[in-house]
Amino acid sequence: MNQHSLGARPLPLPSVVDRFPCTQSQQRFWLLEQMAPGNTSANVALCWELRGSFQAETIEKAFRQVNDRHEILRTRFVEEDSVPLQEVVDHCDFKLSVVDLRTVPTDQLEKRVASISKEEARISFDLSRACLLRATLLQLAADRAYLLITVHHLCFDGMSIRVLGREIGEILDAADNNRAPELPELALQYGDFALWEEAHRQSADFETERSYWRDRLADAPYFELPTDKPRDLARSHAGAAVSMLLSKDTSNRIDALSRSEGVSVFSLSAAILAAVLHRWTGKTDIAIGTQIAGRDETDLETLLGVFINNIVLRFAVEPDAGFQSHLAAANGIVRDALVHQHMPFNTLVEMLNPPRDPARTPLFSVNMIVQRAFMEDHRYKHFEMLGRPSSTPGALFDLNFMMIGRPDGWRATIEYNPDLFDATTADRLLADWTGAIETLTAHPARAIAALPITFPAAATAVDQPGPATIEALLLEHAAVAAVKAVDPSNGAYRLLVVPDPSCTQPLETLPTTLLDHLSKTAPALSRPISISLVMQLPGDVGKSLQARPAKGDAETATNAHHDALEAVVSELWRELLGLSDVDRTANFFDLGGHSLLAVRLIAKLRERLNVKLTTTALYRAPTIEKLTAELAAFAPINAVIPEEDTRIHDINPDAPGIPIISINNYSTIYAISKHFSTPRRCISVRLVDPDAPFEPDNKSFEQIADAYVELVKRVQPRGPYALFGVCVHGNIALEIARRLIAGGDEVAGLFIKDVWAPAYSAHVRDNRKIRLLNKVHDGLLRLRRWRRGELSMFDVLRYYPIIRSRRLFLVMERFFGNTLEMETRLLSTTSQGAFVSYLAAARNRYMPETYPGDVVMFKTNESPAGRDFDKSLGWKAVVSGRFDIAELEEIVVSRGVEIGTAEAAARIEATLQQAEGGGA
């Protein structure tokens, strides 16, 4: 067997060409990676068989061409303030791997193919590198091969299989026949869909979705099947599958019954599965998860990407009811859920805020998929492409029931987690499920209670050592000072161990050593055990406690360390949850925490304390008290240091001269600072922490300015002051400056850029002619920004009525009528975006008093010009001091491009040097 990659000329390093927020589906898969880095349950594995005439080089070129067409395949994922973002690069270096199996003996070939397929499917991706797709060609003969494809769910879903298959097949066929491939023009890219989804979540329509799902699932119990093995404290993603091809007669009856009852095959399958799950568990409130395609626009059908969304179907099963009435009720439930399918699952979980368990998926444990085979078998002129079963990379759910429609009939498959269920249980469940399909499609009037079912066998009891015995055995080990055994309801012991101060072994290897010790001293122990190292045993974990006598005076230092750690954890909880005080025993998720906030908290703790910590730790220890106990084992005693205020960014802090304080804008003032002839201190201040939730209140613009004055005084206690602000932040800079002067401080310079006086904005809004001229200017401005790459064409077009008339754009914001309101359209997943909208709304209710100082306004082509517009944008009526207009074509700091910053720096520097006595 030979394996190689095709030779290709190395390409230059990729450059970022666009940046988008992640969709809610992407965030879900990104969170899975944060919970268990490197897990492969989010891999999508495909297997296509090629027959006929084909060349590996042509296949590689076909994949490269698909990469060029679809931005999502040239996308990498980065974090910014613990929020995932997708970055599109200009190219990625795709290489096809080729494995030559033509010399493998026939009796060994099938086993070898299965081994390679499994290995390829379970190799993890580096999400920070573009092209989360790989392919391997298994050459079986000169005219036959398997093409193994693995793609990460972040950029791929089931419908994408069909899109990819069609495009690869068409490109290969075109190359064989010396013609250009006939591929559909892509009206959109995946990043455009991400922007649309974010806008939809801000729309009024979304509130209807919230209301429906809140009423439907608010009191739903968590449904799951009894497992054969104890569930570990962290979720396992191991995967296995059992499958059965239904007979042709049964497959035909499925289609016939769905037609006669006026329901979809999906509704029929869901009703049968709910009945089977009721018979297995005896429960009547059954929750089943499923995924909807999410491609209800024509323009989305030809895109690669992850558009799927989880929805939860909640069925009430009446055992004595006939199946037909049960089917009718189930069909109504499915229909209503599909009408409200646009509620992102992440948002649903945040809204319902169910109890969090790191070992379970939220809201449902059983999933169901019903679909026709995505891969379409196709015969081309010189070759065939055929879909084949692929390997299971891992299990996202406890159980996943799949009905796949193929040309030879419906295939029923159960993916299961072998860490929870035995293979015999999966086989028995498959037999009962397929048996129910055969029975109920033949006898739809049969009562659910009469459905024949093989109930799960009772688990075999094994005498287990009790917690006291386990604690005593561990205390025999020299590395253990104290231990507490916790026996959760799932039967898996968790041990909290305080290392002995004399222990010299690296702490990261100590749990493995202690598990080995237990396996030798307690061979009858079969229940899974996890060991967490702590510096102090929390008081509320359990009643059992064993400890050795104290071994010295280290306790004082340990307690101080513990208190310092708890102070850090408590501080971060208050910041992220937006609370003034938090009970140390309160659950993070009960207080409003959700998955993204959990990731942010863990990221801040990792950075602050220099510890290796995963998000699973917070699910395992969701209170300040418990999380501190876990951290104490890993955080060095000198790691607890004061954290800098993330609202303040200080540039050249030791430079002389009058500092410049920029309001809510770091990037522009930083770019300007690089052009001063001598270094000058520049400080960017934000009123809100960009990582903390922001809850708007009813403060006036003047009250907001008072809060900013306190922050300004903190970074610079005494004047003279110099302030800089852009758009709405220019308005707040002027009010800050006015208040500083009223308090007796000197303001040496106030620099604003493209800022409208509120009274002038109202004047433009009320004047029909000027309002129309401003709309035209606004549209031309967006086109210029699109040509420069600051906006996508999607962003440009979505504000035009003729474009908004299409369903894809129905939820977009209405076209804003003046430049003053432009910044309120900025949508952000962080608190900063919400704060800007809040600030703009307060500014629109505000009329400034006369400002007695001097002002320099940078006026660029972002502001409208002409005889109908006031050149000062209304400020001449407000400023009683000197008002200078510095006209520059542009001041741009975006994606590595800087325009006009040198000229702005020269004007600011000249003004401040004059105030310092160094200018003319």
What is the per-residue pLDDT across 762-821, written as a single tens digit (0 to 9) for each? 787 777 667 767 676 666 666 666 555 555 554 555 444 444 343 344 444 433 333 333
Please compute the mean of the pLDDT values over residues 197-207 and round it to a whole number: 72
Instruction: Please give the structure tokens belonging to residue 121.
Output: 């499917």
Over the range 509-548, which residues count as b (16 or more CB within 10 Å of their CB) and which as e? ebbeebeebbeebbeebeebbebbbbbbbbeebbeeebee
Confidence check: pLDDT of 841 > 90: no
Q: Which pLDDT belongs to residue 326?
A: 95
pLDDT at 428: 92
Mean pLDDT along residues 840-865: 87
504, pLDDT greater than 80 = no
Task: At 59, list the tokens.
Answer: 């296949």
Residue with tokens 């690089």, as numbered in its chain: 674
Q: Cα–Cα distance between 362 and 28 in angstroms, integer?
A: 11
pLDDT at 512 over 90: no
**Burial track 662-679 (b if 16+ CB lie within 10 A, e otherwise):** bbbbbebbbbbbeebeee
More confident residue, 164 or 642: 164
Rg (CA), the chain: 32
Banded pLDDT at 394 (limits 50, 70, 90): low
Q: Please tell me the distance from the alpha carbon of residue 254 to that of residue 268, in angstroms, as a whole number.
A: 8
Q: Which amino acid is at 398?
A: D
Higher pLDDT, 464 or 202: 202
Please report the pLDDT score of residue 171 as a whole number.
Answer: 94
Beta-strand (E) ranges in 395-510?
Answer: 399-406, 409-416, 480-486, 493-499
Q: Is the pLDDT of residue 548 over 60?
A: no
Amino acid at 641: I
Q: What are phi and psi of 563, to 5 degrees?
A: -65, -40
pLDDT of residue 432 exceeding 90, the answer is: yes
8 Å CB contact between 383 and 53? yes
Question: ω before 720 within 30° of 0 (cis)?
Answer: yes
Sheet arrangement for strand 75-80:
16-21, 83-89, 75-80
- What is the rounded average pLDDT for all residues in the chain? 80
Alpha carbon distances (Å) from 825 to 490, 530, 820: 49, 49, 11
SS3 329: helix
pLDDT of residue 3: 55
Of residues 804 and 91, which shows the higher confidence score?
Answer: 91
Percent of the chain with pLDDT over 90: 29
Spell out a b/e string for 70-105, using b for 16 or more CB atoms within 10 Å of the CB, else e.
Answer: bbbbbbbbeeebbbbbbbbbbbbebebbbbbbeebe
Pure H helices in 242-395 = 248-261, 265-281, 323-339, 345-352
Backbone φ and ψ of 498, nearest 5°: -95, 115
Q: 451: closest CA among 330, 282, 314?
A: 282
**The token pair that represents 248 in the structure block:** 């042709």
The end-to-end CA distance of the chain, in Å, is 82
- Pairwise pLDDT comparison (886 vs 514), residue with the higher score: 886
Q: What are phi and psi of 424, to 5 degrees?
A: -65, -35
CA 485 to chain centre: 35
Beta bridge partners of 409: 406
pLDDT tens string 259-276: 999 999 999 999 999 999
Q: What is the mean pLDDT of residues 648-669?
A: 86
800 SS3 class: coil
Within 13 A of 728's CA, how many CA atoms are on the CB side? 25
Most confident of 113-117, 578-582, 902-906: 902-906
Instruction: Quote the tokens at residue 719.
Output: 């004047």
**What's the rounded Cα separation, in Å, for the pair 516 and 115?**
31
| Residue range 558-586: mean pLDDT, rounded | 81
What H or E segment, with its residue span, contains residue 388? strand 383-388
Single-letter amino acid code for the residue at 830: T
- Taking only the tens place, the pLDDT of each residue in 210-268 is 889 999 998 899 999 998 887 766 667 778 889 999 999 999 999 999 999 999 999 99
Is residue 181 very low, low, confident or very high in pLDDT (cuts 50, 70, 90)? very high
Residue 42 has pLDDT above 90, yes or no: no
Helices 701-715, 728-742: crossing angle, 10 deg rounding: 70
How far is residue 671's CA from residue 458's CA, in Å, rounded to a whole number? 70
Sign of CA dihedral 337, 338, 339, 345: positive
Residue 426 has pLDDT above 60, yes or no: yes
- 3 state SS of 351: helix
**Residue-level pLDDT at 758:** 85
Share of the chain above pLDDT 70, in %: 78
Q: State how far Cα 271 lies from the chain centre.
A: 32
User: What gap in Å lies between CA 245 and CA 571, rounded to an integer?
Assistant: 57
**Quick one: tokens of 863?**
């502001």
* Bridge partners, residue 78, by sequence: 85
Question: What does the longest C-alpha to C-alpha distance in the chain come to?
Answer: 99
Q: Give me the half-sphere count of Cα atoms (radius 13 Å) on the Cβ side of residue 33.
A: 20
What's the rounded mean pLDDT across residues 112-141? Answer: 88
Quickly state the pLDDT bin for 834 (edges 50, 70, 90). Answer: confident
* Predicted confidence band of residue 4 (pLDDT cuts 50, 70, 90): low
Tens digits of residue pLDDT in 351-379 = 888 876 767 888 999 999 998 765 567 88
d(CA 272, CA 433): 8
pLDDT of 213 = 92
For residues 141 and 558, the model is more confident at 141
Is 90 exceeded by the pLDDT of residue 488? no
| Selection from 666-680, 737-751, 757-771 with the highest mean pLDDT | 737-751
Residue 370 tokens read as 């019903």
* pLDDT for 404 beyond 50: yes
Length of the chain: 920
Model confidence at 534, in pLDDT bands (50, 70, 90)?
low
Most trustworthy range by pLDDT among 361-375, 411-425, 824-838: 411-425
